[in-house]
Amino acid sequence: MDKLVKRAGTPGTSRSAASLLRKMSAKGAALPMKTVTLPRAPRVGLVSLGCPKNLVDSERIMTKLRSNGYDMSADYAGADVVLVNTCGFLDSAKAESLEAIGEAIAENGRVVVTGCMGKEAQLIRERFPQVLAITGAHQYEAVIAAVHEAAPLSASPYADLVPESGLKLTPRHYSYVKISEGCNHRCAFCIIPQLRGDLVSRRPDAILREAEKLIAAGTRELLVISQDTSAYGLDLKHAAWPWKGGEVRAHMTDLVREMGTLGAWVRLHYVYPYPHVDNVIPLMAEGLLLPYLDIPFQHASPKVLRAMKRPANEAKVLKRLKEWRELVPDIAIRSSFVVGFPGETEADFDYLLRWLEEAQLDRVGAFKFEPVEGAAANALPDQVFEEVKQERYERIMALSARISADKLAAKVGRTIDVIIDAVDPETGGATGRSKADAPEIDGEVHLRDAGALKQGDIAAVIIEESDEHDLFGVPA
C-alpha cells in the first residue's frame, strides 16, 4: 500500500519519481496505473427473535454496523460472525432463543448473543461455552464492541470517511476518554442523574481499544472522564473481559493500570475519594499515571456536605492527602467547591477556608451556588444572599491563588516535563502544560523560546519564573 501511495505523488514522493510522472503526463503518456484492492468488509449474519421492540433494536444494531463498514450476510455460511438477538419474555421464547443460538453455533460457530436473554448469561454459557460474547438488551455499545472484537474491520484510508480514532474536537495530542455515563448519587445541587440516569459503565476492553486508536492517531495524553470515575464498573459488577491474552476487570484501578501501559500520559478526572482510590497512588509512583487527581470535594464542612448529600463524605481526607503526598511528593490535587450552598453559615465557610489552608490543594475552582431547575437543594431553607455568596467566592479564590502562587514558586529552578500545546511562530515561544496541569482548567507553562519544539512534543523545561497560576521557562 505504501508503494502505491508514493507512486500517486502524495507527500513522500521522491523528487525524481514526481518529476517523471509530471513529464509523462505532459507528453500525453499514460500514467502507470495500479488498482488498489480494498479490504473485504467483514459480514455479519443476524437472527432477530421476539417482539417488535427487539426488531427495532436489531435495526439499530444493523444500522450502526453498516455505518461502521460491515456488510450483512443473508446466510450462515457467508457470515464472519452471527449475532443472535434473543427474546426471554416467556419460557417458550427462551427455548426458541436457545435453539437459535445452538443452530448458529452448529452452522457457523462464531456467535455473539444479545437481547433479553443477556440476563441469563450463565445459562447460555453452560449450554454453549463457545459463544464469543453475551450482552443484554439495549446495550448497543457493548454488542457493537463484541462484533468488532469477533470480526475486526481493517482500516482503509481509501474507503473510510472517518479516521480510525474517530473525529475529535480537541487537538490531536490530547483526548478525553469517557469511561461511563450517568451517576448513582443524588447530590442536592445536581440534576445530572435526572438527565443522564444511573451509572452505565463502558466495557474496559472497548475503552482500551479506543485509547489505543487515539494513541496511534497521535494522542500523547489521555484524560479519563465520567461523572464518577471511582465508581467505574460497579454496574458491571467489576466483571473481567478478555484483553491481550489476559483479562481486564471493569474496575477503575485495573482499567487505568492497563491504560498506563499504552504509552501516553494518563490523567484522572472526577475521582471521588472512595477508599480504593488509595490504590491508584502507587500507579502514579510507578509512572503509569500522571501524578494528578481531580477530586470534586465541593465543601469541607461535614454539615454542608451532608446537606449536599455528597458521596465519599468522610473525615479522613486530610490524612489521606498527607499519605498520598508521602508516596508521590509531586502529586497535584485539583478540586472544585461550591460556596453559598443553602444553610452554609459563616462558621461553615471558615471551616472550609481552614481546611483548604491545611489541604494545600494545587488547583481550586469555586462556584457560587445556583438553584438549577429541578435540583433538590432549591427547596432547602436558609438560602444565602447573593452578596454573601460573592464575598465568600472572592475570599476562597484569593486564598487558593495564594496557595497556588506559593506552590508554583517552589518549582522555580526545577526542570519539569511539559507537553507543548501551541507554538507561536511570531515570537518563537510556545505554551504547554506540566503534569500538574489539565488542559483548559489548570495553569500553563510559557516557553520564551520553543527551539524546534512542535505541538504534542513532551520536553524537559527549566522553570525560570512563576505567578499565581502559570510557570515560565525555557527548554532544557
Kindly list the residues in this chain that would bind ligand SF4 in the complex (CB under 6 A). 183, 185-187, 190, 192-193, 227-228, 311
Q: How far is the CB of 295 from ligand SF4 (least distance, A)?
A: 11
Here the cell at position 457 is: 512534543
Cβ contacts of 428 within 8 Å, gap of 6 or more: 449, 450
Taking the least distance from each CB to ligand SF4, the nearer of 165 and 227 is 227
Here the cell at position 207 is: 475503552
Q: How far is the CB of 372 from ligand SF4 (least distance, A)?
A: 10
From edge to edge, which strands make up the β-sheet containing 363-368? 174-178, 221-225, 265-268, 292-294, 332-339, 363-368
Taking the least distance from each CB to ligand SF4, the nearer of 50 and 311 is 311
Q: How far is the CB of 187 from ligand SF4 (least distance, A)?
A: 3
Taking the least distance from each CB to ligand SF4, the nearer of 58 and 227 is 227
Q: How far is the CB of 270 from ligand SF4 (least distance, A)?
A: 7
- Length of the chain (residues): 476
Q: How far is the CB of 310 from ligand SF4 (least distance, A)?
A: 7
Question: What is the dihedral sign for C-alpha 226, 231, 232, 237?
Answer: negative
Here the cell at position 31 is: 500514467
Taking the least distance from each CB to ligand SF4, the nearer of 340 and 475 is 340
At residue 474, the 3 state secondary structure works out as strand
Here the cell at position 216 is: 496511534
Taking the least distance from each CB to ligand SF4, the nearer of 228 and 254 is 228
CB 85 within 8 A of CB 104: no
CB neighbours of residue 154 within 10 Å: 12
CB 381 within 8 A of CB 423: no
Find the DSSP H helices in 241-345: 252-259, 281-285, 302-308, 317-327
Q: How far is the CB of 199 from ligand SF4 (least distance, A)?
A: 9
CB 266 within 8 A of CB 224: yes
CB neighbours of residue 459 within 10 Å: 21
Q: How far is the CB of 277 from ligand SF4 (least distance, A)?
A: 14
Distance, CA of 155 to CA of 68 (rounded, Å): 11
CB 360 within 8 A of CB 407: yes
Q: How far is the CB of 130 from ligand SF4 (least distance, A)?
A: 40
Here the cell at position 233 is: 464498573
Taking the least distance from each CB to ligand SF4, the nearer of 175 and 227 is 227
Q: How far is the CB of 228 from ligand SF4 (least distance, A)?
A: 5
Taking the least distance from each CB to ligand SF4, the nearer of 121 and 225 is 225
Please name which of 138, 141, 117, 15 lies closest in space to residue 68, comparing C-alpha atoms: 141
Taking the least distance from each CB to ligand SF4, the nearer of 309 and 407 is 309
Taking the least distance from each CB to ligand SF4, the nearer of 190 and 423 is 190
